[in-house]
Structure 1
Amino acid sequence: MIILGIILLVVGFIFDIQILWVIGIVLLVIGLVLFALGSMGRAVGGRRHYY
C-alpha cells in the first residue's frame, strides 16, 4: 500500500492529475499507519505483522 501510494504520487505529479495526487497521499498515510501499528506488535486485521 505504501509503494502504491508513492507510485500514484509520482504519476499524479508528472501528469499533473490532482485526483491521483490525493489518492496517493491517502494510501501512503494509511499504509504508514498500518505499518506503525504492525511494528508495535498490535494485531492489524487479524495479523500480527503488516507488510
Structure 2
Amino acid sequence: MTALAVVLLIVGVVLLLFGVFVSAAKFLLWVGIVILIVAIIIGLMRYIRRGA
C-alpha cells in the first residue's frame, strides 16, 4: 500500500509539472491533480488505520 501511494504521488507530481509546462496538454494538469488527491487520500487512510 505504501509503494502504491508513493508511485501515485510521484506520477501525480510529474503529470502536474508536465501539464503546467506544456500548454497543449492542459488536461494533464487535471489528471495530475486527481492522482495527487488519490495519493493523499490513500496516505490519510493509512495514517488513520495506523493510529487506530
Percent of aligned pairs with the same amino acid: 26
What is the SS of the residue equivalent to 1:41? Answer: helix
> TM-score, with normalisation over the residues of structure 1?
0.74
Aligned-pair Cα RMSD in Å: 1.2
Q: Does 1:8 align with 2:15?
A: yes
The runs of 5 or more residues in structure 2 that have no matched partner are: 1-7
- Which protein has the bigger helix share? 2
Deviation at 1:25, TM superposition (A): 0.3
Higher relative contact order at CA 8 Å, sep ≥6: structure 1 or structure 2?
2
Aligned length: 42
Runs of 4+ in 1 over 6 A off after TM superposition: none
